[in-house]
Amino acid sequence: MIGTVNILNGTEMYKDFKEKQFLEPNSMIPFNEAMCYGETCDDIFSDEFIELRANVHHVTTAQYAEITIKPLEPLLKGNVDRIALWFDEDMFCQINLLTILAWLDQTDYKGSIDLHLVDDQFHRVIDYSLQAEGYEPLYKQVMIQKTIPQKVHPSPLKKGIDLYLSYLKKDSDLMMYIQKHQDVQVEELVSLLIENFKEYGLGDTQYFEIVNTSRQNL
């Protein structure tokens, strides 16, 4: 039985916590994904999932396994007593959070889950105590069927889901902004998007693809 496993949204948070000696290094696992972008499948962390997500990120399945799956091995293989989740409130992090919660639900995890939401400086903002129940069907409804759910807990997850289901639509504030700035060079526009749409939490990799795809479709 492993004690507490802390799942962090990505390598930057991992580096920050390690530098500050905020948590026990051996207990920290970064979730290196951007689940809010690209296709996924029902069976989380399966071979099909790995292949789909590797294609989204333009890497081989071996590279994806090294970057994303390998750090998760203590969670995937271990008998974990308690899980603490550390995620930002933006869309990017909330959809990653939904994926982890859905996997825990999928694997019938019955242990304790503490959710710690942090700000962009990785400082704790609010805490929740959760059970891994209902998140697998929620994940399928949102990520596979792309339909808006009736009830979502906690509320930051609901906001993240709402943004996720609308952000690539032509009339979203993000896509309208991109359309209005057709004459701006891609690199400059990506910087503007990161600055002006913090609630999405997207990085330059996703924005480059979104802008380039948008301009190709004109």
Chain segment 24-46, per-residue pLDDT in tens: 888 999 999 999 999 999 999 99
Using pLDDT thresholds of 50, 70 and 90, give the confidence band for residue 2: low
Q: Do 29 and 79 share a domain, yes or no?
A: yes
Q: State pLDDT tens for residues 173-197.
A: 999 999 999 999 999 999 999 999 9
> How many Å apart are CA 60 and CA 63, to the nearest integer?
5
Contact between residue 15 and residue 94 where contact means Cβ atoms under 8 Å apart: no
pLDDT at 3: 79
Between the alpha carbon of residue 194 and those of residues 45, 66, 162, 205, 210, the distances in Å are 29, 27, 19, 11, 12
- Count how many domains the chain has: 2
CATH number at residue 29: 3.40.50
Q: Kind and range of the H or E element at 13?
A: helix 11-20
Q: Do 102 and 26 share a domain, yes or no?
A: yes
Name the residue among 65, 6, 3 with its Cα closest to residue 32.
65
Q: Do 100 and 113 share a domain, yes or no?
A: yes
Name the residue among 5, 109, 102 with its Cα closest to residue 44.
102
Q: 45 lies in which domain range?
A: 2-164
Using pLDDT thresholds of 50, 70 and 90, give the confidence band for residue 65: very high
Q: Do 145 and 180 share a domain, yes or no?
A: no
Q: Do 74 and 120 share a domain, yes or no?
A: yes
pLDDT at 1: 56
Q: State pLDDT tens for residues 154-163.
A: 999 999 999 9
The SS3 of residue 7 is strand
Structure tokens that stand for 14 in this block: 């991992």
Torsion, CA 170, CA 172, CA 173, CA 177, rounded to 10: -20
pTM above 0.85, yes or no: yes
* Average pLDDT score, the chain: 95
Q: How far is CA 33 from the centre of its chain?
A: 6
Q: Do 184 and 96 share a domain, yes or no?
A: no
Q: Do 49 and 109 share a domain, yes or no?
A: yes
Q: Do 197 and 158 share a domain, yes or no?
A: no
Q: Do 178 and 95 share a domain, yes or no?
A: no
> E strands along 89-162, which residues?
112-118, 124-130
